[in-house]
Structure 1
């Protein structure tokens, strides 16, 4: 590696006192409180688990536009999964016709299980489905370390370090160096030289904002989005971003600046400040997954959603949506720009990521948005899972505040 990357000199002494430290149960309690509050706010108010069923169910977790139970509908066309069906056809529980990989496949119709107790719980609290999604997504992340280790059986640490140094070399000495006029070293040491209290705040922000902030955003947008299709597009984008990042983590393990040898001048300020998060520690957490930065990837998607929600770049609004006033536009635009900016400074100042990690995260999020419909190919698997669990999928409650709900998830 280029010797010019080696930083001479001794890092400044750490003088700032650590901020408050949450007990081990603190972060899970925060997340569970957010999820519990979201379940309560998005509950279906006119549906009773033990009472007479008054509403229908959506026939799919991922993609049907039907918002009613199949035995409540009028007519059915197996070539159009969004058409309704009559009572006689419903009694036969006609299989669902799905598109997958350019082919049509037929899957079991789980609407016969709509009156079962666990199906009625989901109908009352449809946000439980979103919680299930994110548990699966989190498990995929936890798998990255084990799979990557098996691929690079020789020494994954040496491979990851070489990748990290290659990124620094590219940023500073390649044709694209003009995109990175300020180095990660300069950013961290600006905070270390006279601004350590601010870095202590960023250390805590890095540890505490990512998971609770993202979960809080999902809960908030599930409730506030003008329609479920709009919410689902964002949720699928985040999910697909995770899957893309999982592939990159596995095939391109990358050591963050904080773990590089001391001669490169970086300090692991988060751990030095004892500000680690319970979600980012443990044997299964991949500490060599710097590329791309999903801290920034999530923040970028959230920021874009906030700007979209502000409505400043939209000439037309969705059905039932009202144009926001100057204060609302300013508020959502400020969050949309400020939140990703805060996360960007945080991940670099704490030496957890390179500038390139954030740039690739933006690209990954953009590609995920453009390709988010790929997730719908999992519909047949979902139908089979629902059948095995004897469970019917609930109608999402998003958009009910505007007088409509359901829609493609």
Structure 2
């Protein structure tokens, strides 16, 4: 391989194994769950942030939450499926798509997983720095009804968020800004649109994040600005993904060098060497023909049993070979 091509050779991505990916995903989910608990006792600040969001939306003439919440509250045939949607799909569709990408789109999986993880950690920063009271937990005078509490008899959740009955105290009900329900749904939509391959998959890629956005507002779990912030977090995560991938590759390469192993890379082929008499090497892998010489060229020693073309004149004295 010419030297210029060798220099342009890029290291191949690491081979992914499910037994290394699964603990990584579980670690991210554990961080996600733990991060939601950090600011759950700061109720006063969370309520202030929720009311500030309402004031901002009012100044912008945005009020999608109230009509949607009234509709879901009055129509059980809409409210109950919406509660199931909010309480379950967030935790089912996302991991299912990760498994699908890992098995059938391995080339794309690493970037997609890194995008999701980076955005999730950005969301955790938002939960910690900006605890926000969701609409359903504001004073009743603000006009919101907690549909999950209203329809709790239909599902496994109780009156405290979407947690299973009796486990509401293990969740942070003030982790509303940004909405990772919307963020993760947007990620799922992009994956289905880009890699689904069928019209049905592309349609689902559009419908799923849109319906999720309607559901989080109609169930009074998020404001419109929470949903917008969730989409913005995913956008920033997408921009940071190439940087995170390069950083991971550098760490992997450094670790491999320290452990005495060369990182997995694309095989770089060395120049082919003839098994017969060694040809003189000029530079950079460019070879001369057998017996051909250039002025001041240094010639490698001929192996034992060199062919009949070898002659005493070709002994590296610097004289050019006879013209042919």
Q: Which has the higher contact order (CA 8 A, sep 6+)?
A: 1
**Structure 1 residues 159 and 223, CA gap change in structure 2 (3 angstroms):** same
Paired residues, what number?
Answer: 249
User: For residue 184 of structure 1, what is the aligned residue in structure 2?
Assistant: 65
**Structure 1 residues 298 and 382, CA gap change in structure 2 (3 angstroms):** same
Q: How do residues 198-347 of structure 1 correspond to structure 2 at under 5 angstroms?
A: 198-225=78-105, 227-228=106-107, 230-274=108-152, 275=155, 276=157, 277-278=162-163, 281-309=167-195, 328=198, 330-347=199-216
Flag structure 2 segments of 5+ consecutive residues without an equivalent: 1-5, 258-262, 266-324
| Cα distance, 1:253 vs structure 2 | 0.4
| Cα distance, 1:127 vs structure 2 | 2.0
Does the aligned pair in 2 maintain the 1:252–1:291 contact within 8 Å?
A: yes
Flag structure 1 segments of 5+ consecutive residues without an equivalent: 1-76, 84-110, 112-122, 150-154, 311-323, 388-392, 396-409
Alpha-carbon separation, structure 2, partners of 1:140 and 1:385: 24
For the pair 1:375 / 2:249, whether they are aligned, the reply is no
Q: Bigger CA drift: 140-149 or 129-138?
A: 140-149
Determine which of 222, 225, 231 is the counterpart of 1:362: 231
For the pair 1:168 / 2:59, whether they are aligned, the reply is no
User: For residue 276 of structure 2, what is the aligned residue in structure 1?
Assistant: none
TM-score of the aligned structures, taking structure 1 as reference length: 0.54
| Cα distance, 1:380 vs structure 2 | 6.4
| Cα distance, 1:146 vs structure 2 | 4.6
Does the aligned pair in 2 maintain the 1:256–1:288 contact within 8 Å?
A: yes
Which of the pair has more CA radius of gyration?
2
User: For residue 322 of structure 2, what is the aligned residue in structure 1?
Assistant: none
| Cα distance, 1:282 vs structure 2 | 4.7
Alpha-carbon separation, structure 2, partners of 1:138 and 1:222: 17
Superimposed CA distance per residue, residues 275-308 of structure 1 (whole angstroms, 9 cap, x where no aligned partner): 3255794544221110111111001111122222
Does the aligned pair in 2 maintain the 1:145–1:284 contact within 8 Å?
A: no
| Cα distance, 1:373 vs structure 2 | 2.5
Superimposed CA distance per residue, residues 338-358 of structure 1 (whole angstroms, 9 cap, x where no aligned partner): 111121111111111111111
For the pair 1:353 / 2:231, whether they are aligned, the reply is no
| Cα distance, 1:273 vs structure 2 | 2.1
**Structure 1 residues 132 and 244, CA gap change in structure 2 (3 angstroms):** same
Does the aligned pair in 2 maintain the 1:211–1:279 contact within 8 Å?
A: no
TM-score of the aligned structures, taking structure 2 as reference length: 0.67
**Structure 1 residues 146 and 207, CA gap change in structure 2 (3 angstroms):** closer
